[in-house]
Amino acid sequence: NAGVTQTPKFRVLKTGQSMTLLCAQDMNHEYMYWYRQDPGMGLRLIHYSVGEGTTAKGEVPDGYNVSRLKKQNFLLGLESAAPSQTSVYFCASSYFWAGIEAFFGQGTRLTVV
């Protein structure tokens, strides 16, 4: 049972480049989330999804887009990367409403130079 898998684990981008982070879960969870973690700031919600085909904005959505075409996958896109998007990104999924007992992926460390 893989749980929540994020790819890639590490990435370095140049300013203005684009990329997509993939989150895959095999637990049949309805709810999926993308967070970013910056030093001293805990986890901040970027976007989330309450089911296949749905997405919603979190606290810090600017500069990011997401898609949930399949229930098991939640993609996070950066169209034009900026140094301010240097962060560690975590994906999470949950069976329950409000992200109760969420399972987290191992994180993606992204550096934008």
* Nearest partner of 36 among 18, 71, 55, 62, judged by Cα: 62
What mask, x for binding another protein by CB under 8 A, covers residues 27 to 66? ----x-x-x----xxxxxx--x-x-----x-xx-------
Residue the block writes with tokens 């749905």: 54
Of the candidates 59, 70, 90, 61, the one whose C-alpha atom is nearest the C-alpha of residue 30 is 70
Nearer to another protein, 85 or 93 (CB): 93
List 61, 63, 77, 107, residue binding another protein (CB under 8 A): 107
Burial 36-46 (b: 16+ CB within 10 A, else e): beeeeeeeebb
How big is the site for another protein, counted in residues (CB under 8 A)? 28
42/69 with CB nearer another protein: 42
Task: Report the 10 Å Cβ neighbour count for 9.
Answer: 10
Residue in 5, 15, 106, 111 binding another protein, rule: CB under 8 A: 106
Interface contacts to another protein, rule CB under 8 A: 31, 33, 35, 40-45, 48, 50, 56, 58-59, 90, 92, 96-107
